[in-house]
Structure 1
Amino acid sequence: MIWDDVYLSSAAVWLGEKEDVKLAVSEGRYDAEEQVEDDFLAMRVAPDVAPPDMAVQAAERALERSGADRDSFALVVHASVGFQGADHWSPAPYIQSRTVGGNGSAVEVKQASNGGLAALELAAGYLSAQRGPASALVTTADRYSLPSFDRYRSDKGLPRGDGGTALVLTRGAGVARLLSTSIVSDTTHEALYRGPGPLHDLSGADGWPVDIRKHRQAYLDQGIDIWELIASVNARQQEAIQTALKDAGVDSGEIARWVFPFAGRGVVDWELRKRDFGIEEERTTWDWGRTVGHLGAGDQAAGIVRLLETGAVRPGDKVVLAGIGAGFYLGCAVLEITETPDWTVTAD
C-alpha cells in the first residue's frame, strides 16, 4: 500500500531489566549450545509488570515526545502475542483510558509476531480516511514468564524478551514519513506452531509451559518437507519486502537501515538477505537486538526507536521494518526519516 500524509510523530519503548544469558545458562535455564548458536547477549526481563502497563509506559513517553493533542486521537491499536493480564478481556481500552482517553476506537490486533506491522498498517488506513487532522496510537507489549511460557525453552532460536512499544502516527508532519506497507499471508503451514492435534476448549489444556518445539516437531513428523516450508516462507517474505519497496519507489540499495525480528543467529539466513537485498549485518539492528530478545509483536517498533534515539539515521534516510508472524504473516513497512529528534536514549 502507498501512503500519503501519514507520519511517525514519535516513538518510544519500555523494556525489562537486562538478564545476562550466561546467568541463565549457569542456572540451567538456557541450553549452553543453543546460547552459542543463538548469539544473544541478554534478555529483557520484567517479572512484576503486566504487558498493558508496559504499553502504557511506552505510550506516555511517546506522547510526551510527540506533543500531539490528545483530543486528536481517533484510534488506539494494541498488538500482542501472549496473555495480557486477564482472561476474556481486551487490553486496548485499558491502554486508551490511561493514555489518550477520549472516544476514539480502541482495537486489538492478533497477528502473532507480525502484529506490530499489522497495527501500523491498520492505523495508517484509519488516519488516511479521516476528513481532518487526526492521530493514532499504536502499542505492543508482551511478557514471557513461567508457568505459562519459558522464555528460553518454549521455542528454539527465539528466546523472548519482555517489553512494550508505542508509535504515535499523525498527518502533516513528523520525524518520519510512512511511504508504504505490505502484508501477505501464506497459510500453507499454518499448523507449524499449532501442531497437528485438535484444538482445545481450555487454555493450557496441552500443558504448561507452552511447548512450541513439540508442536513444530509433531507437525513435521507428518512428512512435511522442512526445506519446502522454509522456501515457502522465504518467498512470501521476499514478496512483502519487494512490494513495499516498489510501492515506496525505492530499491534495496537505497535503504539505509533494516529492522528485522530479533531472532537468534542460527535461525536467520544472513546469506539469503545479502543475496536478495544486499543487506549487510551492520545495516540492521541485530547488534542491539541481541541484548533485548524477541519482543513478540514489538521488534520493529523497538528497532526504529533505537535508530532514532541514537541518531543512527538522518533526514532523507530510508528505513525498512520487516516482520514475520506464525501462521504465516509476512510484513514490511518503508519509512523516510524527515527530522533528527533530540530524544534521550532509553532503549539501551
Structure 2
Amino acid sequence: MRWNDVYIDASGVRLGRLEDVWQAVAEGRYDADECKTDDLVSVSVVDDLSHADLAVEAGRRALSRSTAAHDDFMLVAHATSFGFQGLDHWAPAAYIQSRTVGGRAPAINLQQASNGGLGTLDLAAAYVAAGGPSSAALITTSDKYQLPMYDRYRSDKRAPRGDGATAVVLKRGSGVAKLLSTAVICDTTHEGAYRGASPWAAAAGEHGWPVSLRQRFKEYLSSSGVEVADTAKAGAAGQQLVMELAMGEAGVGLKDVARFVYPHAGRAVIDWDEVKKIAGIDVEQTNWEFGRRLGHLGAGDQFAGVNHLLETKAVKPGDIVVLSSVGHGYTFGCAVLEIVAEPEWPEESG
C-alpha cells in the first residue's frame, strides 16, 4: 500500500538491563555452541515491570516527543508476539490507552507473532489516512520472555529473546519520518512449523512449560516430511517478496536505501555475507550491531531499530529506511520510510 500523508511523528522504547549472554552460558542456561553461533552480545532483561506497564512507559516516552494532541488519537493498538501480557483474560490495549492518551478511540490488541509491529503499522496507517487532517494513532508493542512459561535461551533456537516495549505515534500532516509504503503478506505453506503435531490443549500449560517451539518444529518436520531447508527457503522467499512489494510501491530501489532494519536474530538465521552477495546489502547498513545487544524483542524489533536510528542521528533528512519482519504462520511485513526531520531526542537506554 502506498501512503501519501502518513508520518511517524515520534517513537520510544522501554528496555531492561543487559544480560551478558556468556554469563547465561556459564550458569548453564544457554548452550555454549549455540551462543557462539548466534554471536549475540547480550539480551534485555526486565525484572520489574509487567508487559503492559512496559508498553505504557514506551508510549509515554513517544507521546512526550510527539506533536499530536490527545484529542487527535483515533486508535490505540497494542501488538504482541508472546500472548501472555501479565494476566489471563483481559485487554491490555485499554489499560495502555487509559494511562497514555485516554479518550474514546478504539483500543485494539493484535497478535501476529514477530510480524506484529509492522502488521499493526499497516492497519493503523489505514485508520490515520482515513481520518481528518490531524488524526493520529498510538502503536505499542511489548513482550517479556521469562520462566516459567518461556525460556529465552531454550524455548526456541537461533533467536534468544529480549524483554522490552516500543511505541510509535503515527499521524497525518507532519512527523520525523514519512511512511511511503507498507506491505504485509502470508504464506501458510508451513503454518504448522510452530504449532507442531500435538492435540489442542484444554488449558494453558497442558503441554508443559516452558513453551518448546523447538519440540513443535521437530513434530512438524517428522509428521509432514518437510525438510528444514524447505522452511528456510520459504521464509527467505517471503521476506524477499514482501520487501520487493513495499519498495516497488514506494518507487525505491536497493541503491536508494540508506538503512535496513531486520528482525533481531542470530547469525544462524541471517547470513550477512550471503545477504551482501545476493542483495548487495552490507551489514553496516543494518541494525545488526544494535539488535545483537538486545535479543529478539518479539513484535518490537523494527520500532526499536527506527527509534535507535533517530536517537543516535544515524539517519538524516532524505534517507530511506526499510523495515523488514517475519512472523510465525508465516507472515511477512515491510515498511518503507523517508526521514524528513532530525529530532532532538536524547539517546535513552532504558
TM-score under structure 2 normalisation? Answer: 0.97
User: What is the Cα deviation at residue 22 of structure 1?
Assistant: 1.3
CA deviation digits over 1:283-328, x for unaligned, max 9? Answer: 0011011110000000000000000000000000000000000111
**Aligned counterpart, 1:18:** 18
Question: Are the structure 2 counterparts of residues 272 and 182 from structure 1 closer, same or farther at C-alpha, using a change threshold of 3 Å?
Answer: farther
Unpaired runs of at least 5, structure 1: none
Separation in 2, partners of 1:324, 1:346: 27
User: What is the Cα deviation at residue 270 of structure 1?
Assistant: 2.4
Separation in 1, partners of 2:203, 2:18: 33
User: What is the Cα deviation at residue 143 of structure 1?
Assistant: 0.6
Q: Where do 1:196-345 residues align within 5 Å?
A: 196-222=197-223, 223-345=225-347
User: What is the Cα deviation at residue 67 of structure 1?
Assistant: 2.9
Q: Secondary structure at the match of 1:298?
A: helix
Q: Secondary structure at the match of 2:334?
A: strand
Separation in 2, partners of 1:259, 1:347: 18
Structure 1 counterpart of 2:79, one-letter code:
A
Name whichever of 250-259 and 217-226 sits farther off: 217-226
On the 8 A contact 2:68/2:134 being kept in 1, the answer is no
**Percentage of pairs with the same residue:** 52
User: What is the Cα deviation at residue 128 of structure 1?
Assistant: 0.8
User: What is the Cα deviation at residue 60 of structure 1?
Assistant: 0.5
**Aligned counterpart, 2:139:** 138
**Aligned counterpart, 1:72:** 72
Name whichever of 161-170 and 276-285 sits farther off: 276-285
CA deviation digits over 1:58-112, x for unaligned, max 9? Answer: 1111000113101110000100022101111111000000000000011111110
Separation in 1, partners of 2:10, 2:242: 25
Aligned length: 348
Separation in 2, partners of 1:259, 1:164: 17
Structure 1 counterpart of 2:119, one-letter code:
A
On the 8 A contact 1:306/1:347 being kept in 2, the answer is no
On the 8 A contact 1:79/1:140 being kept in 2, the answer is yes
**Aligned counterpart, 1:149:** 150
**Aligned counterpart, 1:172:** 173
CA deviation digits over 1:189-210, x for unaligned, max 9? Answer: 1111110122112111110000
User: What is the Cα deviation at residue 6 of structure 1?
Assistant: 0.1
Q: Secondary structure at the match of 2:189?
A: coil
CA deviation digits over 1:154-190, x for unaligned, max 9? Answer: 1111110000000001111000000000111001111
On the 8 A contact 1:47/1:145 being kept in 2, the answer is no
On the 8 A contact 1:167/1:301 being kept in 2, the answer is yes
TM-score under structure 1 normalisation? Answer: 0.98
**Aligned counterpart, 2:99:** 98
Q: Secondary structure at the match of 2:188?
A: coil
Unpaired runs of at least 5, structure 2: none
CA deviation digits over 1:201-245, x for unaligned, max 9? Answer: 211111000011111011111221222222122111111000000
Separation in 2, partners of 1:129, 1:347: 35
CA deviation digits over 1:318-347, x for unaligned, max 9? Answer: 000000001110110000000011110014
On the 8 A contact 2:77/2:140 being kept in 1, the answer is yes
Structure 2 counterpart of 1:315, one-letter code:
P
CA deviation digits over 1:111-157, x for unaligned, max 9? Answer: 10000001111110001111342110000001111000000111111
**Aligned counterpart, 1:7:** 7
Structure 1 counterpart of 2:213, one-letter code:
I
Separation in 2, partners of 1:251, 1:334: 11
Q: Secondary structure at the match of 2:317?
A: coil
Separation in 2, partners of 1:294, 1:247: 28
Structure 2 counterpart of 1:138, one-letter code:
I
**Aligned counterpart, 1:118:** 119
**Aligned counterpart, 2:196:** 195
CA deviation digits over 1:243-278, x for unaligned, max 9? Answer: 000000110111000000000111213244224421
Separation in 1, partners of 2:153, 2:234: 27
On the 8 A contact 1:253/1:277 being kept in 2, the answer is no
Structure 1 counterpart of 2:131, one-letter code:
Q
Separation in 1, partners of 2:266, 2:86: 27
Structure 2 counterpart of 1:308, one-letter code:
L
